[in-house]
Amino acid sequence: MEHLKNLLDSIPIAIIAHDLNRRIFYFSRYAEEITGYSREEVIGRDCHSVFPGGFCGSKCSFKSKIVVPSLSKLEYNIKFIDKKGNTKYLEAKVVPIYEGKKIYGVCAVFEDITSDIINEKEVEKITNFHGIIGKTDKMQRLYAQIKNVAKISVPVLILGESGTGKELVANTIHKLSPRKDGPFVAVNCGAIPDSLIESELFGYVKGAFTGATKSKKGRFELAHRGTLFLDEIGDVSPAMQVKLLRAIQTLTFERLGDSKKIRVDIRIISATNKDLSEEILKGNFREDLFYRIAVIPLKIPPLRERKEDIPLLVDHFLKEFAIEFNMDIPEISHPAMEILKRHNWPGNIRELQNVVQYSLVESFESSLGVIEPIHLPKYLLEGQVDHDIVIHKKQKPRKNLDIEKVKEAIENAGGNKVKAAKMLGISRATLYRILAKHKQK
């Protein structure tokens, strides 16, 4: 029996076992580590007297020292308070112990899953994931995918429309990966002429062509022990795709004008705004290259599919630009925000970023520091028929808004500041700001 206990102690598994009277007769070394209780404190004692509320809490099958008839095998999670008072989450598997045909007691094998539970809760609250902004379910799934793919150095294909932040996602994968201390090298395949892309990717030796006065490393070589990001890979010509496939497959290449093979240790992350499946059918993209780069595909949702994130993004950009321009962070009025929410954003995050910057500049003259519809680009106002928005577009009530008019509105509203703010066409926060500015209550 002693040999069996020693054997169980050598296995990195936490085990607790008790008889039908809840008397603990076995408590493994790993159970000591997780709970903080020593064997001497628990062996021979009633499970409920050792652990406040019992080890399994409300899920215990022995509340009245009676085995639940359905007890054949149970699995559940436990919220457990260890000896130091720390809350832990345990995953338990409970099975009966038989002596002949009679149940002698139960054995619970458990594992500490606290970090997993906490991580899941953190993901639910994430609004800024390494510079990627968003709190919608689609973005939470993307964050989880990024964390998972970062762990393993396999090729990733990021799919998304222009302006969705594909390079930011690629960079985040790199920063969370074991290669984070290596270089992150990005190349926009769509921006380089076909005649130059080979030398740009693989480099060249002196004299390889007219003007090659010295040798130069390519992006593959510069990314050694790091990550190579091939942006807009769907724009690479069929001829270049053949060379790219070979380099990605073997992680070897030759510089232009040289026959010496160079081997690199890199991770490939690619991105495109094209539907590569459709490009394959058209004969524009090689199927074998697609399967080589798309081991793990990640899709970034366009902004029109996550409009709930627009206020978060606007707030983020306003803070960024305010710091850059060394100015106070302005508010954005409700009507202006509604216009932003109604727009379809074909340019995605990049378009929104430009709009926020434009509006910030346009609102410089606003003494109240508020971005109104009139400060937005004109094309956003086209087609907007909301009555409140039209009024705010045609009128500029805040240009002449002073403390006397605010006080008058509050008086007309019977002292109700919320109602007064609506009457003035401003937010409640703006009204309070005006009052504070003039030291009014």
CATH no. for 126-301: 3.40.50.300
pLDDT digits (tens, 9 = 90+) for 59-116: 777 765 555 445 667 788 888 888 888 888 888 888 888 888 888 888 899 988 877 6
Spatial contact of 55 and 41, defined as CB atoms under 8 Å apart: no
- State the Cα–Cα distance between residues 405 and 226, nearest whole angstrom: 62
Asked if the domains at 2-116 and 305-400 fall in one CATH topology, the answer is no
Query: For every residue of 237-306, which 3-state class applies, written as one string?
Result: CHHHHHHHHHHHHHCEEECECCCCEEECCEEEEEEECCCHHHHHHCCCCCHHHHHHHCCEEEECCCHHHC
Fold topology of 2-116: Beta-Lactamase (3.30.450)
Tell me, what's the pLDDT at 20?
A: 85
Following DSSP, what letter does each residue of 62-111 receive, concatenated?
A: -TTS---TTTT-EEEEEEEE-TTS-EEEEEEEEEEEEETTEEEEEEEEEE
Question: What residues contact 154, with CB distance under 8 A and at least 6 apart?
Answer: 267, 295, 296
Which residues in the chain show pLDDT less than 70? 1-5, 7, 63-72, 116-125, 365-368, 383-401, 422, 427-429, 439-441
DSSP state of 330: P
Question: What residues contact 83, with CB distance under 8 A and at least 6 apart?
Answer: 35, 36, 37
Q: Where are the domains of the chain?
A: 2-116, 126-301, 305-400
Whole-model pTM: value is 0.61
Tell me, what's the pLDDT at 306?
A: 95
- State the Cα–Cα distance between residues 193 and 214, nearest whole angstrom: 21
DSSP state of 11: S
Tell me, what's the pLDDT at 384?
A: 56
Q: Tell which residue, 351, 379, 375, 347, has the closest CA to residue 362.
A: 375
CATH 1.10.8.60 at 305-400, yes or no: yes
Start-to-end C-alpha separation, the chain: 79
Burial class (CB within 10 angstroms; exposed 0-12, middle 13-18, buried 19+) of 229 = buried
- Written as one letter, the residue type at 394 is K
- State the Cα–Cα distance between residues 255 and 272, nearest whole angstrom: 26
Reported as half-sphere exposure (CB side, CA atoms, 13 A), residue 182 has a value of 20
Phi-psi region of 211 (alpha: psi -120 to 50; beta: other; left: phi over 0): left
Tell me, what's the pLDDT at 121?
A: 53
Tell me, what's the pLDDT at 62?
A: 74
- State the Cα–Cα distance between residues 107 and 61, nearest whole angstrom: 12
Q: Tell which residue, 165, 138, 149, has the closest CA to residue 296.
A: 149
Q: Tell which residue, 52, 59, 62, has the closest CA to residue 22.
A: 62
